[in-house]
């Protein structure tokens, strides 16, 4: 469990993280989303004791990270794929980490095998590609077999097979009951990986909810209704509008937002309206995310038509 309470970080007049209070629970993958400059990396650095909060607290398993005697056994983290000394081999890099935390040397070869680096373990880390560096960073995070894992953009530089491997790894770690906290800008991948989302913008909390709720809350998530009776559909449209839904006519039916598919079905049943289709047209996570963060983007580039995107 990671618990943040009133976590705040200021750099002079700039507030990078603003009164953030969240719980990152075990047994699920929690995605950490936000525009560039939103405060995601700063938040992760404060959790790991690399930056000191201006106010508030960050606890891992009920304790500050800096008080953990053997931190790698409690928390595994990948924040920078190039953090390894470039002159050390991957194996020696991990051996040094293991020795500093009282971890058996045999564990090094286990994690190298688990991330697919056994054959290149004798090469210097400075010769690794970005994708290989990510795998080495993940190996370091797994080294102490910790209950809490944090990853900042773990699929950067990976090919499609590597991206799928990371997805499966995250989900398997969560299935074992571990706390898995993952930051990423790849919405399509996060939609396949995360169970829960924390979204921040300009340092402030925007959403803390299951991914299904975040997507369902998008204005682009709608209920599609079709039926053979125009009069019945008109009556249903009027009743839905009376319930505060937004209803638009569309090719032989209705598109409804602001209510659930169950609510539409119940109203149709009450009115005796014969339906041929009652389905949910779900927004993508990217669409839901863009709506949530529309007012929080600090570095917006002009769109091709000259307007700001």
Find the mean pLDDT for residues 6-31: 96
Question: Percentages helix, strand, coil for the chain, rounded to the nearest 5?
Answer: 35, 30, 35
203 and 228 belong to one structural domain: no
Number of domains in the chain: 2
pLDDT at 234: 93
To the nearest 10°, report the CA torsion of 110, 113, 115, 116: 170
Considering the domain architecture, whether residues 164 and 226 belong to the same structural domain is answered as: no
- Same domain for 150 and 247, yes or no, is no
pLDDT tens per residue across span 212-242: 989 888 877 889 999 999 999 999 999 999 8
Cβ partners under 8 Å of residue 214, min gap 6: 197, 199, 207, 285, 288, 289, 292
Do 69 and 146 have their domain in common?
A: yes
Q: What is the mean pLDDT of the chain?
A: 91
In a domain, 217, yes or no: no
Q: Each residue of 161-192: pLDDT tens digit?
A: 999 999 999 999 999 999 999 999 899 999 99
pLDDT in tens, 269-292: 999 999 999 998 888 899 889 989
Alpha-carbon distance of 151 to 173, in angstroms, equals: 12
Residues 194 and 238 in one domain: no
The confidence band for 157, taking pLDDT boundaries of 50, 70 and 90, is confident
pTM equals 0.83
pLDDT of 16 over the 80 cut: yes
Q: Quick check: is 92 in a domain?
A: yes
Residue 273: give the domain boundaries: 222-281
Q: pLDDT at position 28, please?
A: 97
pLDDT, residue 268, reads: 94
Query: What is the bridge-based pairing of β-strands 277-281 and 253-257?
Result: unpaired
pLDDT for 252: 80
* Residue 181: per-residue pLDDT: 98
Contact 182, 154 (CB under 8 A): yes
Q: Is residue 148 part of a domain?
A: yes
């Amino acid at each position: 469990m990671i618990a943040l309470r009133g976590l705040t970080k200021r750099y002079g007049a700039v507030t990078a993280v603003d009164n953030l209070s969240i719980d990152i629970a075990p047994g699920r993958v929690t995605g950490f989303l936000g525009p560039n400059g939103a405060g995601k990396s700063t938040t992760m650095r404060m959790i790991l004791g690399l930056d000191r909060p201006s106010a508030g607290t960050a606890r891992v398993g009920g304790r500050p990270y800096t008080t953990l005697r053997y931190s790698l056994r409690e928390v595994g983290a990948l924040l920078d794929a190039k953090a390894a000394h470039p002159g050390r081999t991957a194996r020696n890099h991990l051996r040094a980490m293991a020795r500093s935390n009282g971890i058996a040397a045999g564990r090094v070869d286990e994690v190298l095998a688990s991330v697919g680096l056994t054959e290149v373990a004798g090469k210097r880390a400075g010769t690794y590609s970005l994708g290989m560096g990510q795998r080495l960073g993940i190996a370091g995070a797994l080294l102490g077999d910790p209950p809490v894992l944090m990853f900042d953009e773990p699929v950067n530089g990976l090919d499609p097979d590597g991206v799928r491997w990371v997805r499966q790894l995250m989900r398997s770690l969560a299935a074992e009951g571990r706390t898995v906290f993952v930051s990423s800008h790849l919405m399509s991948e996060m939609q396949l990986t995360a169970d829960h989302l924390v979204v921040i913008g300009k340092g402030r909390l925007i959403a803390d909810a299951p991914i299904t709720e975040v997507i369902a809350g998008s204005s682009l998530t709608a209920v599609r209704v079709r039926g053979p009776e125009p009069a019945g559909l008109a009556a249903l449209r009027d009743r839905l509008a009376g319930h505060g839904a937004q209803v638009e006519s569309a090719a032989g039916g209705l598109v409804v937002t602001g209510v659930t598919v169950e609510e539409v079905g119940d109203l149709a049943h009450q009115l005796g309206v014969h339906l041929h289709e009652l389905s949910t047209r779900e927004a993508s996570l990217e669409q839901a995310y863009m709506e949530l963060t529309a007012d929080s983007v600090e570095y917006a580039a002009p769109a091709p038509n000259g307007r700001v995107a």
